[in-house]
Amino acid sequence: MSMLDKNMLTIIRKNFRWLLIIVVCFIGWRMVVIGLGEYYMRAADKGLEKDKFKSVDLALDWNPNHPKALFYKAEQLYKSDPLQAEKLLRNSIHHNPASGHSMVLLAELMLDKQEIEEADKLAEHAVDLMSSNKRVRAKVAEYWMRRNKPEKALQNWRALLITDISYGHKIFPVLTKVAEDPASRYLIKPLALDPPLWWGSFYRYLSEKTINLDALIAVTSMRDLSEVKLSDGERLYLVRRLLKEQIWSGAYLVWINGLDSEQRKYLGNVYNGGFELEPSNEGFDWVFPRVKGVEFIRQETYSLAGIKALHLTFNGQEMIFKHLRQYLFLPAGDQEFQVGIRMNQLSSRGGLKWVVRCSGDESRLLGESNRLLGTSGWYKLRFHFTVPANDPACESQLLRLESTGENRYDHKLEGEIWFDSLAIKTLYK
């Protein structure tokens, strides 16, 4: 090897060492930049709104092309500077072509600019890329509602609710508006015919929140066309709403059609008058909710008929008692109420009595029993009353056990009482 070649080799070796040092330093610097960018983005994800955007700015200072930081910054500028937000989003997508978040926000901006074709493609591509992402699904659904294409929004809501039912608090109000509008109600029909897992939650929301009862009736009619029968829950929510609206005949028909063969054995003017079945506390069944100071027990006893009787124990609580009740659906005309009673040291200044009132106006008393106090063996208590004809307020009646008295202290009850064989007989002339 010549002297010249040796000199050239020496120069190359020295320069290569410096070049290698420069490359290593550059790589190290890039790692610091990228690392700090990621550090500030993690801080942005954890921080409050004010701190979030401060961290986003720091992340962009270190890494101007960080896709997520660009998206967050675009969100911040979406309304105040849409042109800059658009640039940021396009840069974000350039550096992360799979960013559905950036795409759907850019779709919103393009829709604002009336660039419909591009906006639609962005929204559709966002779901294609991130179909399992809940936030992307929700934002795309909002986009299609803005586009007045609720059928596309519904596709995304349906997928979203299967993934996370908690989105119901945002989606159910919108679906309710869809159901309330006769022009868009048809969109609910596919769901009603083939109810998804979250349907029961939506139906409950609709039954409780809709201001338009026709919407609930229409959706229920759609459900009746399905091969999937109306569930016990749906029937319960419908009965509750009909009772609230005082549509007594409708509520009674829905309730009675939900009874099974065993429950139907206990139908009568009073349902389950012998307390042989566990009460549901719903519809036209017995209602006796838990209340402090009173214990309700269905128990075997030497009763008048059947196996069970209802046993109430009062512990001296000062309270107005009217918690044992049942809605009735009696025909117009004269009626006779009867019940078997046994008491053990039932004491009070006022006492208890059975009453029948108009369900639509509880201030209207149709009939009442004598006061119940003291100690006794089993005996039959009876009283007569009349259900008026053609009176909407009395189309249904309320049978209730009530405490009596002039002041609150009079209602203080202590002791025990049993009931069995409650019945109401219509007296035909």
Cα(368)–Cα(322) distance, rounded to whole angstroms? Answer: 14
Mean of per-residue pLDDT scores for the chain: 86
Give the three-state DSSP class for 395.
Answer: coil
* pLDDT-derived band at 5, boundaries 50, 70, 90: low
Query: Would you say residue 20 has pLDDT above 60?
Result: no
Query: Would you say residue 171 has pLDDT above 80?
Result: yes
Phi-psi region of 416 (alpha: psi -120 to 50; beta: other; left: phi over 0): beta
Q: What is the pLDDT of residue 144?
A: 93
Angle between helices 168-180 and 134-146 (to 10 degrees): 30
Question: In order of start, what are the domains of the chain with their CATH numbers?
Answer: 65-160 (1.25.40.10), 164-259 (no CATH), 294-426 (2.60.120.260)
Q: What is the pLDDT of residue 95?
A: 85
Q: What is the pLDDT of residue 132?
A: 86
For 135, the token pair is 């936030």
Radius of gyration of the chain from its Cα atoms, rounded to whole angstroms: 36
- Determine which of 154-158, 298-302, 341-345, 354-358 has the lowest per-residue pLDDT on average: 298-302
269 Cβ neighbours under 8 A, 6+ residues apart: 328, 330, 335, 423, 424, 425, 426
Let me know: does 240 contact 268? Beta carbons within 8 Å. Answer: no
* String of DSSP letters for 280-301: -SSTTS-B---BTTEEEEEEE-
Query: Would you mind telling me the total number of residues written for the chain in this entry?
Result: 429
- Determine which of 74-88, 275-289, 392-406 has the lowest per-residue pLDDT on average: 74-88
pLDDT tens digits, one per residue of 183-225: 999 999 999 999 999 999 999 999 999 999 999 999 999 999 9
Stated pTM of the model: 0.80
Q: What is the largest CA-CA distance in the chain?
A: 139
Query: 290-299, 311-320, 381-390 — which one is most confidently predicted on average?
Result: 381-390
Q: What is the pLDDT of residue 37?
A: 42
Angle (CA) 329-335-338 rounded to 5° is 95
